[in-house]
C-alpha cells in the first residue's frame, strides 16, 4: 500500500503520543508501513528515524511529551535544509509525511510539499491553540486544565492573605489559554495580546473590587501580552496602588502531564483522519475539527490566516468577576 512517516515538531503538547499511536495503528490496519522521524525536522534532515508498528506505540496513550521527541529546526528555514529533508523522504521511498505541531511546523511542512513529491498532511498539536482551521488543537485542553488546577490552589492563598495575584500562562502570540483559564478560573481580568492593556483601567477595577469587599483577585496574563509581561504589569499596578501583590509564572508546567480525555479523543480522531486524507490522495491539508465535525483546511491557511478568539468572553469574565 505504501509508506508514510510521522514526526512531532515545535513545542511538545500533551496528547502527541496518543496521536502518534492513532496514526501508526490506523495506518498499520490499512496496510501502510510507518516510520517515525526523531526530533521533528532535525531528524528528518539527518535521516534519524525508527520503524513503528502497532506494538511500538503500546502504553503511550496516557503519556505527556512525545515518544519521537521534538525540535525547532533552524535549518528547515533554509533552502539547503529543505533540500536535505526532501532528499531523506525520496531516498526512503516515503509517500506521505504526517506532521504534528503548530503554525511553525505547518510552515515547514508546506515548504516540503512545495519542494518535493511527498504528500504532506498536518495535525494541529499545540497548547497555544493558535492554528486556523480547527476549534481545538491537541494539548490545549490539558494545558488549560493544568493551569486551572494551579489557579484553584493559588486562590486559597490569595483569599487567605487578601493579596492580588498576577498569574502568567503560556501563549506566545495569542491569548486562547488565558481566555479559557480566566473564564474557568473566575479571574478578575485577563490581559492578552489581542486587546490593548490599559493599566489605569485595571487599577481602577482592582481598587473598586476591593472596595466592594472582594478579597481574592486573580489577574491572568498571557505571556505574549503586549504590555511587556506579568512582572512589568504587576509593578505598574503596584506603583499606582501601592498594594502588596504576588506573581506566579506557570510556564512549562502547562506543557507536561497526562493528556485529558478530551485531548486523547481528539488525538485519536485526527490521527485516523490524517491517514484517511493521505489514502484519499490528498496533500497540503491540515485535519481539524470545526463545530464537532472533522474538517480539512489547506495547510498554508493554517499559518497564514488568523483564528478568531471569542471576544465576548473577555467582557463576560469581567461581569462575572463582580
Ligand atoms: O508554542 C507553545 C509554547 O509553549 C508557547 O506557549 C511558548 O511561548 C513556547 O512554546 C515556549 O517554547 P520553549 O519550549 O522553546 O521554551
Give which of 128, 154, 111 is closest to 254, Cα–Cα: 128
CB atoms within 10 A of CB 37: 30
Percent of the chain whose pLDDT exceeds 70 = 100
- pLDDT given for residue 85 in this prediction: 98
> How high is the pLDDT of residue 70?
98
Q: From the CA of 188, how far away is ligand 1's center (Å)?
A: 25
Report residue 138's pLDDT band, with 50, 70 and 90 as the boundaries: very high
Integer angstrom CA distances of residue 72 from 3, 101, 263 = 25, 11, 23
Residue 289 confidence class, pLDDT cut points 50, 70, 90: very high
Rounded to an integer, the average pLDDT of 38-42 is 98
The alpha carbon of 172 and the centre of ligand 1 are apart by a number of angstroms equal to 7
Residue nearest to atom 14 of ligand 1 (CA): 11
Q: What pLDDT, in 10s, does the model give residues 181-235?
A: 999 999 999 999 999 999 999 999 999 999 999 999 999 999 999 998 999 999 9
| Cα 78 to averaged position of ligand 1 atoms, centre (Å) | 22
Substitution candidate for ligand 1 out of 66, 73, 128, 251 with most atoms within 8 A of CB: 128
pLDDT at 178: 98
Structure-block grid coordinates of residue 119: 504528500
Ligand 1 interacting residues, C-beta cut-off 6 A: 11, 102, 126-128, 170-172, 223, 255
Taking only the tens place, the pLDDT of each residue in 63-105 is: 999 999 999 999 999 999 999 999 999 999 999 999 999 999 9
Q: What is the mean pLDDT of the chain?
A: 97
Instruction: Judge whether 24 and 56 are in contact, CB under 8 Å.
Output: yes
- Smallest CA separation from ligand 1 atom 13, residue: 11
> Minimal CA–CA distance to 243: which of 220, 211, 221?
211
In this predicted structure, the answer to whether residue 1 has a pLDDT above a threshold of 90 is no
- Ligand 1 atom closest to the Cα of residue 130 is 1
Locate the ligand 1 atom nearest the alpha carbon of residue 224 and give its number: 8
pLDDT, residue 176, reads 98
Residue 306 C-beta-side C-alpha neighbours within 13 Å: 8
Q: What is the distance in A from the centroid of ligand 1 to the CA of 46?
A: 24
Query: Residue 122: its pLDDT value, please?
Result: 98
Spatial contact of 202 and 189, defined as CB atoms under 8 Å apart = yes
Q: Which of 128, 180, 205, 225 is catalytic?
A: 128
Q: Is 128 a catalytic residue?
A: yes
pLDDT recorded at residue 54: 98
- Check residue 196 and give its pLDDT: 95
Assess whether pLDDT exceeds 80 at residue 171. Answer: yes
**Cell (9 digits) for 183:** 473564564
* pLDDT (0 to 100) of residue 226: 92
For the stretch 232-240, contacts whose Cβ atoms lie closer than 8 Å and that sit 24 or more positions apart, written own/partner, are 233/166, 233/191, 233/197, 233/199, 233/202, 234/166, 236/199, 237/164, 237/166, 237/199, 237/202, 237/203, 237/206, 240/199, 240/200, 240/203
Average the pLDDT over 248-252 and give the result.
98
Residue located nearest, by CA, to atom 8 of ligand 1 = 172
What pLDDT is attached to residue 208? 96
Pocket probe mutation, ligand 1, options 8, 9, 10, 11, max atoms within 8 Å of Cβ: 11
3-class DSSP state for residue 312? helix
Closest CA to 64 of 123, 11, 4: 11
Q: All 3 cell numbers of residue 225?
A: 501580552
Amino acid at each position: 500500500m505504501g509508506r508514510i512517516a510521522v514526526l512531532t515538531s515545535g513545542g511538545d503538547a500533551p496528547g502527541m503520543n496518543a496521536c502518534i499511536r492513532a496514526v501508526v495503528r490506523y495506518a498499520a490496519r490499512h496496510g501502510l508501513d510507518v516510520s517515525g522521524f526523531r526530533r521533528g525536522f532535525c531528524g528528518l534532515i539527518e535521516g534519524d528515524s525508527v520503524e513503528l508498528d502497532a506494538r511500538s506505540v503500546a502504553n503511550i496513550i496516557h503519556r505527556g511529551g512525545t515518544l519521537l521527541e521534538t525540535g525547532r529546526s533552524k535549518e528547515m528555514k533554509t533552502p539547503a535544509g529543505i533540500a536535505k529533508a526532501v532528499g531523506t523522504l525520496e531516498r526512503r521511498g516515503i509517500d506521505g509525511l504526517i506532521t504534528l505541531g503548530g503554525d511553525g511546523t505547518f510552515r515547514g511542512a508546506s515548504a516540503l510539499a512545495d519542494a518535493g513529491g511527498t504528500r504532506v498532511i498536518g495535525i494541529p498539536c499545540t497548547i497555544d491553540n493558535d492554528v486556523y482551521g480547527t476549534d481545538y488543537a491537541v494539548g490545549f485542553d490539558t494545558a488549560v486544565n493544568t493551569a486551572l488546577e494551579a489557579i484553584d490552589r493559588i486562590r486559597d492563598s490569595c483569599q487567605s492573605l487578601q493579596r492580588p495575584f498576577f498569574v502568567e500562562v503560556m501563549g506566545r502570540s495569542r491569548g486562547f489559554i488565558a481566555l479559557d483559564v480566566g473564564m474557568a478560573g473566575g479571574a478578575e481580568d485577563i490581559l492578552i495580546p489581542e486587546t490593548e492593556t490599559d493599566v489605569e483601567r485595571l487599577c481602577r477595577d482592582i481598587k473598586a473590587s476591593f472596595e466592594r469587599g472582594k478579597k481574592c483577585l486573580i489577574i491572568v496574563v498571557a505571556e505574549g501580552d503586549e504590555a511587556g509581561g506579568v512582572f512589568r504589569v504587576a509593578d505598574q499596578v503596584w506603583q499606582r496602588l501601592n498594594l502588596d501583590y504576588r506573581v506566579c509564572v506557570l510556564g512549562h508546567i502547562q506543557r507536561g502531564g497526562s493528556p485529558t480525555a478530551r485531548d486523547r479523543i481528539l488525538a485519536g480522531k485526527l490521527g485516523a483522519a490524517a491517514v484517511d486524507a493521505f489514502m484519499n490522495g490528498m496533500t497540503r491539508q491540515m485535519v481539524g475539527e470545526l463545530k464537532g465535525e472533522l474538517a480539512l483546511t489547506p495547510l498554508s491557511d493554517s499559518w497564514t490566516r488568523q483564528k478568531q478568539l471569542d471576544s465576548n468572553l473577555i467582557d463576560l469574565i469581567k461581569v462575572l468577576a463582580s
